[in-house]
Amino acid sequence: MAKELISRSENYSQWYNDLVVKADLAENSAVRGCMVIKPYGYAIWEKMQAELDRMFKETGHVNAYFPLFIPKSFFSKEAAHVEGFAKECAVVTHYRLKNNPDGSGVMVDPDAKLEEELIVRPTSETIIWSTYKNWIQSYRDLPILCNQWANVVRWEMRTRLFLRTAEFLWQEGHTAHATQQEAMDEAMKMINVYATFAENFMAVPVIKGAKSENERFAGALETYTIEALMQDGKALQSGTSHFLGQNFARAFDVTFTNKDGKEELVWATSWGVSTRLMGALVMAHSDDNGLVLPPKLAPFQVVIVPIYKNEEQLDAISEKVNEIIAKLKARGISVKYDYNDNKKPGWKFAEYELKGVPVRLAMGPRDLENGTIEVARRDTLTKEVASVDNIDEYVEKLLNDIQSNIYKKAFDFRNEKTTKADSYDEFKEILNNKGGFVLAHWDGTTETEQKIKEETKATIRCIPFGQEEEEGTCIYSGKPSKGRVLFAVAY
C-alpha cells in the first residue's frame, strides 16, 4: 500500500514535511538548506508558472534575464536594501580551485581572488537598475515592464521544503515609469494579478493589503501583500508587490528627459512570487490521506485505473478507455491511464489519493458490460457509478465543482478563523486557543508592533484594503486608532 501519513492534529509540521516527500513533490538535497524539486512537484510549478506568465504578458510585461552575480559595490548604493539582505547574502570571493599540496583533495586557490567580490543574487533590484541606466534616456523609453523567471539564494539557517530554503525559484518583475502615479498603479495592478491567480487557480482565498512600515520590503516606500491562512491557523505571505519610489533610480543615477525637456529620476516597482506557493497549495487544502490539488493546477486531472484478471479483459477495457480518453482530451482535460501491471488497483487508488489527483475513474469487466464506470473525487473522497455515455461532460462539470468546493472550504475555514479582538488579553487568548487572523486596533507605531511580536510572536500581516475607518484604541498601548489591522502568527 501507499505510504501512511501522521495526522495533522497529531503533528502538523511533520505531516507537512512527510507529505511533501511522500507525494514526490520535493526532497532535501546534499547541499544543506537546498531542495530537489521532483518531477511531480515541478509539474505543478510549471502549471503555476505558465498561468502566471500568461497573466503577466496579458498586462503588457515581457520576460528578460539578468545575471546571477551582483557586484558587492552595487549593494552599498541603497542603504535600506543592503541592511535588509546583508545577513542572507552568499558571497563569491575566488574563482578557482587547486589540488592541496598534501594530496587531500582541493582547496581555494589564494592567487585567484576576485578583484571585487560578487553576491549571489538574493533579489535583483541593484543589477537591474544598473542596467536600466543604459536603457533609459527619454520619456519615450518608458515604461519598461520586465519580468524574469530565476533562482535566488538567501542563506537561511532554519529551512523547510518550499516554505524557506537557501535557494528557491521565483519570478521577479521590475518596472520603470515616468510618473509616481503610474508606478503606484503598477504595484497595485500586480498585487491584484497575484490575488486573482491565488483564488482562481490555487483555490486559496487571500486578503490583500499594505504592509506596515516595519514589514515592508527593504528599500520600498510601500509593500502590498496577499496573505493566506493555512490549516494550522498560521498565515503565509503568498505574494508581494513593492512601490520603490525613486530610491533605486537615485542610487544608480537613472534619469530621463521628460516631455518638457527637463531631467527627472525614474519611478520603480518590483513584485514577486516563489515556489513558496507550492507550500501554500499543500497546507491550504490537503488532508490526512495526502494532497488535495485544485484541478486547474494538477499535473493530470484524471487518472483511469483498469481492473482486470487477464490480458483479454485488459484489451477490451482499454478499447473503451481509449475512447473516453479521446473525449476528455478534446475538452482540454489531462488524463493518465495507468494499466501498469506491477501494482494492484488498491495500491494505485491509495497512491493517487496521496498525490491528490482530482478525479479517479475505475473500470472492470462488469462496468464494461453495463456501460458504466466508477468515479471517485479526491476532495470529498466520495464514489459513485456513472454511465460511460457523456462521461466527458460529466467529468468536466465534476472538475469545476471540485475547484469551487476546494475554494469554498478554504474560504469558510478562513472566515471561521478570523476574529476581532478589542483588548490585549482577548487578543492573546484568541492566538493561544483559536489561532488564525485577528483584526485589532493598533496605534500605528513600530514600537507597539515590535512589543506585540516579542510577546506573542504575532505580526501585522497587512492593513487590509477597503477597510472602513473605525475609531478605537490600540489593544496594546491604549492610544487612539483609526482602524483595525490584520495580525497573525506567520510562517
Please report which confidence band the pLDDT of residue 1 belongs to, taking 50, 70 and 90 as the band edges. Answer: very low
188 CB-near residues (< 8 Å, 6+ apart): 224, 241
- Quick check: 194 pLDDT over 80? yes
Residue ranges of E strands in 302-456:
302-306, 335-337, 359-363, 372-377, 382-387, 418-421, 437-441
Cβ(395)–Cβ(333) below 8 Å: yes
Q: What is the mean pLDDT of residues 93-105?
A: 92
Q: All domains of the chain, ordered by start, with CATH?
A: 12-91+118-285 (3.30.930.10), 295-413 (3.40.50.800), 417-489 (3.30.110.30)
Mean pLDDT, range 352-374, rounded to an integer: 98
Task: Take residue 268 and report the three cell numbers written for it.
Answer: 520603480
Residue with cell 538567501: 154
pLDDT given for residue 469 in this prediction: 87
Cα-to-chain-centroid distance, residue 227: 11
Q: State the Cα–Cα distance between residues 204 and 235, nearest whole angstrom.
A: 12
In 3D, which of 446, 445, 455 has the Cα closest to residue 424? Answer: 455
- Per-residue pLDDT band for 78 (boundaries 50, 70, 90) equals confident
pTM over 0.85: yes
pLDDT per residue as tens digits for the range 216-231: 998 899 999 999 999 9
Q: Which residues contact 10 (CB under 8 A, 6 or more apart)?
A: none
Distances (CA, A) of 441 to 115, 227, 466: 52, 18, 16
Residue 72 has a pLDDT of 94
For residue 39, say if its preceding peptide bond is cis, omega within 30 degrees of 0: no
Alpha-carbon torsion 303, 335, 230, 46, what sign? Answer: positive
pLDDT score of 396: 98
User: 281-302, pLDDT tens digit by residue?
Assistant: 999 999 999 999 999 999 999 9
pLDDT digits over 128-187, tens only?
999 999 999 999 999 999 999 999 999 988 899 999 999 999 999 999 999 999 999 999
Q: How far is CA 147 from CA 82, 190, 337, 482, in A?
A: 22, 12, 37, 37
Separation CA 347–CA 132 (nearest Å): 56
pLDDT digits (tens, 9 = 90+) for 436-452: 999 999 999 999 999 99
pLDDT (0 to 100) of residue 80: 81
pLDDT at 3: 67
Coil, helix or strand for 23? Answer: coil
**Least confident stretch, 63-72, 75-84, 162-171:** 75-84
Amino acid at 463: I
Residue % of the chain over a pLDDT of 90: 94
